[in-house]
Amino acid sequence: MNQVLWNEGDEANGMYLLLSGSVKYQKTVDYETPIEAKSSNKWFRESIQSKRINRKTLSKDVAIFEHGDLIGFEEIFRDYI
């Protein structure tokens, strides 16, 4: 079953002890790359190069938690650890 427990930026409201199954922790990163301007006219190429941006989002697996792992406590006890 794929279910989102919380999203990045959500306020912590509890911690979880995994009794069975697994939880995948993913980090989502937004990034931008310039799009290459293809033109023989140097002025045109340079003037639009800074305006053409390719925006992408990448989700990367950071960790997988399994039976016996405690997750979510870092946010609750942030001021104490």
68 in a domain, yes or no? yes
pTM here is 0.55
49 in a domain, yes or no? yes
Total domains present in the chain: 1
52 in a domain, yes or no? yes
55 in a domain, yes or no? yes
Q: Please give the C-alpha separations between residue 3 and each of 6, 24, 37, 38, 76, in angstroms, as whole numbers.
A: 9, 10, 42, 44, 21
Question: Which token pair is 65?
Answer: 């938690």
5 in a domain, yes or no? no
**pLDDT, one tens digit for every residue, the chain (81 residues):** 678 888 877 887 788 899 999 988 888 887 776 666 555 666 665 655 555 666 777 788 889 999 999 988 877 787 776
7 in a domain, yes or no? no
8 in a domain, yes or no? no
Residue 41 lies in domain: 26-76
